[in-house]
Structure 1
Amino acid sequence: MPKVAILIYSVDDTIARLAENEKKGIEIAGGKAEIFQVPDVSSSSSDKEQDDDEGKVRKTNADFSYKILTRETLVEHDYYLFGIPVKFGNFPVAWKTFWDSNTGGLWAKGSLHGKMAGLFVSGAISGKGDTEMCIMNAMSTLVHHGIIYVPLGYKNAYKELTNTDDVNGSCAWGAGCVSGVDGDRPPSASELKVHQLQGRAFYDRIKDL
């Protein structure tokens, strides 16, 4: 059975909820997956003040029951779904720090070459520009490691992706969620469904490889 890792960074419950639905989709398709959390990065005092000004309490690894992502996790699994909370159309610092600090040796040895990955995201506003840009920017990291990208596309979620009566942060690049500027909008039923559909489609794609 393919070993699938769902790798996330979540400062609140949003990405974690999306990950659980991706996992559910994989299970519906007959597979199994485990969720791992990107290691925390210590914030500077200026970052902490900004968080306080916004009235947010950011969650840490201790607030989740998931195992912590390590470089060994990447080596031991052949298939990944990356969950990314969008920061200015890119990885947040914790994700970028993990890639930069832990995977240089893996890149040099080609340890991740040929592995396959899909991505799902959460962004503050609708319109999909920032979330699509985040996934596009993530391509640079995947390409340098030789990781094969598996997009969501329209085939399995056409109805949800083309419905103009409901806000849905998903796109052809990957499932998504509009979390609101303050991060207080929970994923909609439609958005959660697309994450299940992505998990299912991803596993259907890899199960016979």
Structure 2
Amino acid sequence: MSSPRVLVLYYSTYGHIETMANKVAEGAKRAGATVDVRRVPELVPEEIAQKNHFKLDQSAPVANPEDLVNYDAIILGAPTRFGRLPSQMANFLDQTGGLWFKGALIGKVGAAFTSTGSQHGGQETTLFSLLTNLLHHGMVITGLPYSFQGQMAINEVEGGTPYGASTIAGPDGSRAVSTTEGEGASFLGEHVAKLTQRLVK
């Protein structure tokens, strides 16, 4: 088959998920995929976003729900909000009802990545809340396999779960994505691209 088309679709408040999205894209490209990185629209008024130090200077173009049909794989990324996906991503996915009705995403490959403020801040429940949307669309879901050995480490606090790549931002958002977490995101992108090559004809 020709090079699989992969969409990395994310929402990032402070830049952690933006960083992870680019790492995911690097991994998918390494596996030979054609990759687009897109973000969902910000719903918070600009004045409030600036006051709360949101990262508004993100280079990824804003996506349109109808664009999803153009890809063989879709990898969603979003931070946690009380253990679930944020309203910005939910709002975007709520607009894909027409695609669901037509079965437009059935058989495409899907995966997810996230960030939380603390080690136990809801990474796995947030990943599940993202993946549930893809399952309803009839997509083929994958997580972050344990062949990525970085998620087995216990010598320091790290993100990474079998349900998707993740990072820990810290309570005040000051912790940067670690090397291992970035490698996990890249591994996820490469894994999805390789899986897509096998499944999509």
TM-score between both structures, scaled by the size of structure 2: 0.90
Q: What do residues 133-192 of structure 1 show as CA deviations (whole Å, max 9, x unaligned)?
A: 11122233222211221111212x12x111111221111111100001111110111111
Is 1:99 matched up with 2:99? Answer: no
Residue 10 of structure 1, CA deviation: 0.9
Q: Distance in 2 between matches of 1:98 and 1:72?
A: 11
Matches within 5 A, 1:122-161: 122-127=115-120, 130-155=122-147, 157-158=148-149, 160-161=150-151
- One of 143, 151, 171 as aligned partner of 1:181: 171
Q: What do residues 102-144 of structure 1 show as CA deviations (whole Å, max 9, x unaligned)?
A: 21111111111221111111111013x6010111222332222
Is this contact kept in 1: 2:75–2:112, CA < 8 A? yes
Q: What residue in structure 2 maps to residue 59 of structure 1? A: 55
Q: What residue in structure 1 maps to residue 196 of structure 2? A: 206
- One of 5, 21, 24 as aligned partner of 2:23: 21
Question: 5+ residue gaps in structure 2?
Answer: none
Q: Distance in 2 between matches of 1:203 and 1:44?
A: 35
Q: What do residues 40-79 of structure 1 show as CA deviations (whole Å, max 9, x unaligned)?
A: 214499xx49x85xxx31133xx12212111121111121
Is this contact kept in 1: 2:160–2:184, CA < 8 A? yes
Which 4+ stretches in 1 moved above 6 angstroms? Answer: none
Q: What residue in structure 1 maps to residue 186 of structure 2? A: 196
User: How many equivalent pairs are there?
Assistant: 197
Is 1:118 matched up with 2:120? Answer: no
Q: What residue in structure 2 maps to residue 83 of structure 1? A: 77
Q: Distance in 2 between matches of 1:140 and 1:44?
A: 30
Q: Which deviates more from structure 2 when the two are superposed, residues 173-182 or residues 135-144? A: 135-144
Q: What do residues 13-49 of structure 1 show as CA deviations (whole Å, max 9, x unaligned)?
A: 211111111111112222231100101214499xx49
TM-score between both structures, scaled by the size of structure 1: 0.87
Q: Distance in 2 between matches of 1:139 and 1:196?
A: 18
Question: 5+ residue gaps in structure 1?
Answer: none
Is this contact kept in 2: 1:23–1:32, CA < 8 A? no
Q: Secondary structure at the match of 2:54?
A: coil
